[in-house]
Amino acid sequence: MYVGPLVHEFQGNTTIAKADNGHCYYLFRTKMNWFEAQIFCKKQKSQLLQINDQNENIWISMVFPNVRYWIDYTDIGKEGCWLTFSSGRDEYSSWYSRRPDGGRIQNCATNNYLSQLGRWDDVGCHDRYPSLCETSGSES
Ligand SMILES: [Ca+2]
Ligand SMILES: [Ca+2]
């Protein structure tokens, strides 16, 4: 399903890639908190990255390596109940070993923890990281 990016370009602090499922992915290196990242992606007519399965996680990690960024995965509603905020579902996770470890203090997820591609860590939602926004093919 996922092969190499069809488009991979750089515009300032933004890197854009298009997957052959029609989705476009935008890495914005400007650091912001998780709530700002959610709003920022909406304003770009996209949504904060949902990683729905292992294929997508591997692909996204290959295309955007060596950077830690927010993903749409949180347990802010109920401690320990991790889910994708925009869908309300928990379909897939790829935690770094012994993560999540932050209890009630860390309720939002980042990818590529300790440069381990595709491995997630929970951090404080008000910490500041780059954002990865995703659009579906029909919207772009
Ligand atoms: Ca938590
Ligand atoms: Ca953590």
Q: Please report where in the chains the tokens 């012994």 appear, as a residue.
A: 98
Output the CA 110–ligand 2 centroid distance in Å. 9
Type of residue numbered 13: N
pLDDT given for residue 139 in this prediction = 44
- Give me the pLDDT at residue 66, please: 86
Rg for the chain, CA atoms, rounded: 14
∠49-108-66 over CA atoms, to 5°? 60
Ligand 2 geometric centre to CA of 29 (Å): 21
Ligand 1 centroid to residue 8 C-alpha, Å = 34
CA dist 134 and 24 (Å) reads 6
Topology of domain 7-135, CATH: Mannose-Binding Protein A; Chain A (3.10.100)
pLDDT given at position 115? 86
pLDDT in tens, 76-94: 999 999 999 999 999 999 9
* The pLDDT value given to residue 108: 98
State in Å: Cα 7 to ligand 2 middle: 33
First vs last C-alpha separation in the chain: 19
| pLDDT above 70 as % of the chain | 90
Which residues in the chain land under pLDDT 70?
1-10, 137-140
Count the neighbouring beta carbons within 10 Å of the beta carbon of residue 31: 14
